[in-house]
Amino acid sequence: MKIKAWKLLVQILLFSWLINIQLLSSGAPIARPNCPTHCGIVSIPYPFGIRAGCFLDEWFEVVCKNSRPLLNRTDWEVTEFNVADGTIRVRNYWSLNETLGQTGNIEGSPFELAELVNVPIVLKWELLNYSTFDVFGTSFEPNKTNDFPRNYWNMENEYKAGYDFMNSSCEFYNYTSSRLQCSCPQGYEGNPYLIEGCQDIDECTGLNRTGRCIEGTDCINVGGSFLCFAPSGKSSSRVKQILIGYTPSGRVQFATFGEMKQKIEPQKL
């Protein structure tokens, strides 16, 4: 019975490894398919884009002029686009200061002043005032979830309205708000505004591996986290062998089998 259990464990771990290799080989996209990803040395992540079909709307259109990315609507030069915290850094201090005035935002735009300490200035942006969202390359109405493939969305509890798309998590301020911001969950990185834009971080390779598992145990990368377990014939007081399974949503479930009575959760980053 023990031998069969171990064979099953090895097969499942191999399956997990193959899935992660496939994800890593594809790389995390930052722009829509067939769209430019850089202007000069500055990366241009969606919802921003350089040409038609590559940006969400006119506020996110970028013009690449002499290898300098400019927002077409405002003519601001952007030195950094950050989708992780929803900010851009703008070089044009004086023109920006005149445009923002005393309120710190631009009427009808998705931008507001995040901090006015250093140059370039940091502006925070969110997706707002859309009757339909085309964030993931598929339009849908937020209050008509039947219009969107069921495996792409998941409404959260009544106190927190939001959507989960593949590995992306997007939240509205409330059910009546159209202000939306997306992020990659812990253990993933990439562009949360694209389908499959968030890719798993492999904590078991390269510099990511340092300090993950105690000596004598193996590090196994799983979606959004990692596991440490003692190889056959070895023992560890802190680590137990476990069975790994994948749910339809891509999340990992853990269960024991045979004489393995204890279970562990993925180690927190």
Give mean pLDDT, residues 83-112.
67
Encode pLDDT of 162-186 as tens digits: 455 556 777 765 555 556 778 888 8
Structure tokens at 45: 């992540």
| Res 186: pLDDT | 86
Amino acid (one-letter) located at 22: Q
Task: Report residue 62 as tokens.
Answer: 């970028």
CA end-to-end distance (rounded Å), the chain: 35
Which one-letter amino acid corresponds to residue 49?
G
User: How many other C-beta atoms are found inside a 10 Å radius of the C-beta of residue 165?
Assistant: 24
> Residue 7 — pLDDT band, cuts 50, 70, 90?
low
Label residue 62 by pLDDT band (50, 70, 90). very high
Question: Of the candidates 188, 169, 197, 189, which has an alpha carbon nearest to the alpha carbon of residue 32?
Answer: 197
Of 250, 135, 141, 145, the closest CA to residue 195 belongs to 135
What global pTM score does this model have?
0.60
Query: What is 20-38 written as a DSSP string?
Result: HHHHHHH----S-TTS--E
pLDDT tens per residue, range 216-261: 788 888 888 888 887 765 544 443 444 333 333 344 444 333 333 3
User: Contact, 134 vs 165, CB < 8 A?
Assistant: no
The token pair that represents 7 in the structure block: 């064979």
- For residue 200, the cross-strand partners are 188
Which pLDDT tens digit goes with each residue over 112-137? 776 555 555 677 766 654 433 455 54
Q: How confident is the model at residue 146 (pLDDT cuts 50, 70, 90)?
A: very low
Helices (H), 27-145: 93-100
How far, in Å, CA of 130 to CA of 210, rounded? 44
pLDDT higher than threshold 80 for residue 58: yes
